Amino acid sequence: MNATTMIRRTFGHAGYAVRGALVLQALCCAAPAGAQGAPAVPITLAEAQARAVEASHRLAEARARQAAAEGAVAVRVAADQPLLTASAGYTRTNHVAEFTVPSATGVPRVIYPDIPNNARTRIDLQWPIYTGGRADALERSARAEASAVAADVAAARGDLRLEVARAFWSLVTARATVTVLEQAVAREQAHLADVRQRLTVGLIPPNDVASSEAQESRQRMLLIEARNQRDMSSAELARLIGGDLSGPALEPAAVLDSAAPSSQMASALVVQAQASRNERKAIEQRIVAAEEQQVAARAGARPLVALVSGLDYARPNPRIFPRAGAWQESWDLGVQVSWAVWDWGRVRAEKAQAASMTTAARQRLEEFDSQLALEIRQRQLEIDSGRAAIVAAQDGVRAATEAQRVVAERYKAGVATQTEVLDADFALLQAELDRTRAMAGVRFSEARLDRALGQ
């Protein structure tokens, strides 16, 4: 439903102009005083993007995931290092009859004394000295996954920058639209004053005044909607950069005039994007991680060799004979070999799983490359068509401005009708809005092309 239809349904056909003007004036007066009185805060696109990166909860979550991936790398590194553990325990046993044997001195020698209080401490050392390459492969896989997560963080940062650019240029567009509509309302109010003066001297009928009032009311309603859109765009940008939604409005320090066209071919841009897109880097790293998982799975069929050692300090020490109710120490050192001769197909299943993950990641990379080439081509076409639309829209503004001027002169001379004047004013307004939308479309497309290129 357009603005004209909405007003007509609300106020009727006959006297809707005057009543519509009164209601719109009331709406303007009801706007929050703080939003109108507070000075706007200037901000550039680069500043908005930098503040958004600092304030984004989404990026904070991605950074936490990156820290978790780096922690997984540390876990894999530690798994290949010596493990030193200390343990202690106390056991109370029942009393037993002491076992003694005769001695040369005639005093019986206690071989197995009654020691109900048993205490033991032990320090264990385990060091895997050969894992068949499994530990190293798992460490490399974890490092590749950490690199992939870091690329995901960079990609999320790029998405956020694009979202900020969209909100920024939406605000610029809304402010430009408000400016266009304010100029249109000023023109229409000046024309309305002239029409009322003509009515006073009896040069025109009253219905011409009503038609002019209706046009002025419609454009004021469009201006209210544009101001509301401007305020919403400002609030959206403030949310992204971590600002106060109830604070002063933001004033983007930029204009809608598009940048100079790029002379690079699409093929060169695709190569550039493939080298810089963090999403692609993340997929490549996940391919590396999956390949290392295959290496680790194959290593599961090889034997594991570990160095084991320990130091006991106990009372009594069960390794020392005969037992004695005193603290004594003992140690051991050895090599332990384990080899899974039958695992019910576990290693084979792990290798198949890792191979499937590698294939899936490679296919995902191929799909990403095909979509990337299409995306860059689409963005280039959008920019080219948008710039052509700007040229056409500027020609339309020039033509509509001249037509409006000629009709106004003819109307003053009494050879043009009120309807022709209103139509010329509306055509000029529509041409100016079309030019604004065309310039905004190019800015949006340029921001999306920068994102496609990984910038």
- Higher pLDDT, residue 38 or 305: 305
- Tell which residue, 151, 218, 149, 183, has the closest CA to residue 8: 218
CA dist 371 and 379 (Å) reads 12
Type of residue at 451: R
The mean pLDDT value for 33-57 works out to 79
Query: Which pLDDT does position 68 carry in this prediction?
Result: 95
pLDDT tens digits, residue range 119-143?
999 999 999 999 888 999 999 999 9
Query: Which pLDDT does position 19 carry in this prediction?
Result: 36
3-state secondary structure (DSSP) of residue 422 = helix
- Residue 408 tokens, joined: 């106004």
Query: Which pLDDT does position 3 carry in this prediction?
Result: 41
pLDDT at 425 over 70: yes
pLDDT at 69 over 70: yes
How would you label 346-385 residue by residue, b for 16+ Cβ within 10 Å and e otherwise? ebeebbeebeebbeebbeebeebbeebbebbeebbebbee
Contacts of 85 (CB under 8 A, 6+ apart): 123, 124, 126
Most confident listed range (183-197, 235-249, 302-316): 302-316
Alpha-helix residue ranges (DSSP H) falling in 30-80: 33-37, 45-55, 57-79
Residue with tokens 């340029």: 446
Query: Which pLDDT does position 193 carry in this prediction?
Result: 86
Out of 64-68, 158-162, 264-268, 297-301, pick the least confident.
264-268
pLDDT tens digits, residue range 201-245?
777 788 888 888 888 898 899 999 999 999 999 999 999 998 888
Which pTM was predicted?
0.76
- Tell which residue, 295, 315, 266, has the closest CA to residue 357: 295
CA dist 303 and 312 (Å) reads 29
pLDDT confidence bin for 5, thresholds 50/70/90 = very low
pLDDT at 13 over 50: no
- Tell which residue, 302, 310, 252, has the closest CA to residue 126: 310
Query: Which pLDDT does position 259 carry in this prediction?
Result: 59
CA dist 189 and 170 (Å) reads 28
Strand partners, 305: 130, 337
pLDDT at 17 over 80: no
pLDDT at 323 over 90: no
Query: Which pLDDT does position 21 carry in this prediction?
Result: 38
CA dist 269 and 451 (Å) reads 12
Domains of the chain plus CATH, in order, are 31-80+131-303+339-452 (1.20.1600.10)
Type of residue at 36: Q
pLDDT tens digits, residue range 72-84?
999 999 988 999 9
The mean pLDDT value for 108-123 works out to 90
CA dist 310 and 322 (Å) reads 21
Q: DSSP per residue over 197-219, as a string?
A: HHHHTTSS-HHHHHHHHHHHHHH
pLDDT confidence bin for 260, thresholds 50/70/90 = low
The mean pLDDT value for 3-26 works out to 37
Strand partners, 241: none
Q: Is-contact 263 215, C-beta < 8 A?
A: no
Q: Is 9 exposed, middle or buried (0-12, 13-18, 19+ CB in 10 A)?
A: exposed
Query: Which pLDDT does position 14 carry in this prediction?
Result: 33
pLDDT confidence bin for 50, thresholds 50/70/90 = very high
Query: Which pLDDT does position 332 carry in this prediction?
Result: 92
- Higher pLDDT, residue 309 or 199: 309
Strand partners, 122: 87, 312
Out of 104-118, 261-275, 277-291, pick the least confident.
261-275
Strand ranges (E), 95-230:
99-101, 109-112, 117-130
- Tell which residue, 389, 449, 376, 448, has the closest CA to residue 166: 448
Q: How far apart are the first and last CA of the chain?
A: 39
pLDDT at 277 over 50: yes
Query: Which pLDDT does position 153 carry in this prediction?
Result: 94
pLDDT confidence bin for 321, thresholds 50/70/90 = confident
CA dist 48 and 165 (Å) reads 8
Query: Which pLDDT does position 258 carry in this prediction?
Result: 62
CA dist 261 and 249 (Å) reads 32
Query: Which pLDDT does position 278 carry in this prediction?
Result: 92
Query: Which pLDDT does position 73 carry in this prediction?
Result: 93
CA dist 116 and 56 (Å) reads 65
pLDDT at 388 over 50: yes
The mean pLDDT value for 347-355 works out to 91
CA dist 182 and 189 (Å) reads 10
The mean pLDDT value for 146-161 works out to 93
Q: Sign of dihedral through CA atoms 405, 410, 412, 418? A: negative
Across the chain, what does the average pLDDT equal? 85
Cβ neighbours of 27 (radius 10 Å): 13
